Amino acid sequence: MAIAAESLTLGAAIEFLKPATDFVRRGASHAGLTGERLGVVELVIEELFMNVANHAYPSSAKGCVDITWSVPKPGLLTIEITDQGTGFDPLSKEAPGLADSLDDRPIGGLGIFLVRQMTTSLEYRRDGGRNRLRFEISASSDD
């Protein structure tokens, strides 16, 4: 049983990015994450939230994002992000080229790469017409 857990449903649009990050920062505080680790949580949520806002739903449709955080034990935050948009596994994206030349660098494509680098136990599943992405962030960057 988790020490603490909360869920929130928001519109999948940029104007809800701040409520989304504020909500998850509350979970991070419960888990005892501080300093740069709070920034990591904010970064990962922005990348995944904006991924849904920009790509999950047709531009003519309004969709939602469900966010759940839980603290299974002190120092560990678990987050699940769910949407009812087009089936898409962000983890199936090929890793971006990290060439040392600016000419060879694409402008985008770093968001999911950062999420992969900064989380643990990252899992995607398509379940009942929903995309579900689950991951953990710990209080220590060494975990």
Partner 1 sequence: MDAESAPAFEDACKSWVDQGVYRLVIDMSELAYVSSMGLRSFITIGKLAQEKGEHLRLCRLAGLVKQVFEITRLTSIFPIYESVESALATE
Please identify, using beta-carbon distances, which residue of 4 and 110 lies nearer to partner 1: 110
Is 138 in contact with 77 (CB distance < 8 Å)? yes
Beta strands in 1-143, from DSSP E residues, in sequence order: 4-11, 64-73, 76-83, 120-127, 130-138
Query: Residue type at 110?
Result: L
Nearest distance, CB of residue 67 and partner 1, angstroms: 16
Nearest distance, CB of residue 103 and partner 1, angstroms: 8
Is 69 in contact with 27 (CB distance < 8 Å)? yes
Please identify, using beta-carbon distances, which residue of 67 and 70 lies nearer to partner 1: 67
Site residues (vs partner 1, CB under 8 A): 14, 17-18, 36, 39-40, 42-43, 46-47, 50, 98, 100-103, 105, 107-108, 110-111, 113-114, 117-118
Is 71 in contact with 27 (CB distance < 8 Å)? yes
Please identify, using beta-carbon distances, which residue of 94 and 100 lies nearer to partner 1: 100
